[in-house]
Structure formats: C-alpha cells, structure tokens
C-alpha cells in the first residue's frame, strides 16, 4: 500500500475488516455509527451476539501494534457510543461483545489480527 493520508489508511483498514467479518458470516448492521464525538467503526451480528468492533490500522510499529491504540479511554468512549446505539434502536436484553480488528500494512503485505471480546 502506498503511503496516504491517515483517513485513507483508516478507510482501507475498515474495508479489509468488513471483508474479514463478512467472510466469517457476520451480518453488518452499521458502519461508522456516530454519537457525540465518538464512533464505532463496525456494528455487526455474530449469530445472536451484537458486536461493536473497533478497527485500528497502522503503517509501522513505531507506536506499537495497532490494537494498542484502543486505550482504556477509547474503550470507554466506544462503550458510551454502543449504549447510545442500543437506546436509539430500542434494543434490549441483547448479548453484546466488543472486538478489535488490527490491520498492519507492512510494505506489500497486510496483516489482519482479530481480537474477539477484546474488552
């Protein structure tokens, strides 16, 4: 992947994550769901479980692996956005999970790591 903007990198990472989840039978409910200043990248069903998925993409390991970008503060923000989604869609008594998909662009090679129930 050629070097591009952070947004381009993030968009490409999210495209790869969507493909990854669809190939595993997830049903995508929403992408880029925003509430206030927060966002959940992908909301999908894994069977009967509603999954809120954060995608982190990086070009290098200068700041550590991509999943380390999902800090405690970011986790709390994602939880708040998830609560807003459940409220807005009148979803109750739903089993939910928080996953992370880490995408590492490494020259011509792309590595995708899936962390189920990450937090």
**Mean pLDDT over all residues of the chain?**
93
Q: What is the pLDDT of residue 1?
A: 43
Q: What is the predicted pLDDT for the residue at 106?
A: 83
What the chain holds in terms of domains, given with CATH numbers, is 6-115 (3.40.1350.10)
**DSSP bridge partners of 115:** 100
pLDDT of residue 25: 98
63-80 exposure pattern, b = at least 16 Cβ within 10 A, e = fewer:
eeebbeebeeeeeebbbe
pLDDT tens readout for residues 36-66:
999 999 999 999 999 999 999 998 878 889 9
pLDDT tens for residues 66-101? 999 999 999 999 999 999 999 999 999 999 999 999
């Amino acid at each position: 992947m050629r070097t591009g903007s952070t947004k381009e990198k993030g968009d490409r990472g999210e495209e790869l994550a969507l493909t990854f989840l669809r190939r595993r039978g997830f049903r995508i409910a929403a992408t880029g769901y925003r509430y206030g200043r927060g966002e959940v990248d992908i909301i999908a069903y894994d069977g009967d479980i509603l999954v809120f998925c954060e995608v982190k993409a990086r070009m290098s390991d200068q700041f550590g692996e991509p999943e380390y970008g999902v800090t405690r503060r970011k986790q709390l923000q994602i939880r708040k956005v998830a609560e807003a989604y459940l409220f807005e869609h009148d979803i109750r008594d739903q089993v939910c999970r928080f996953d992370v998909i880490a995408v590492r662009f490494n020259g011509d090679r792309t590595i995708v790591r899936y962390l189920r129930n990450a937090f």
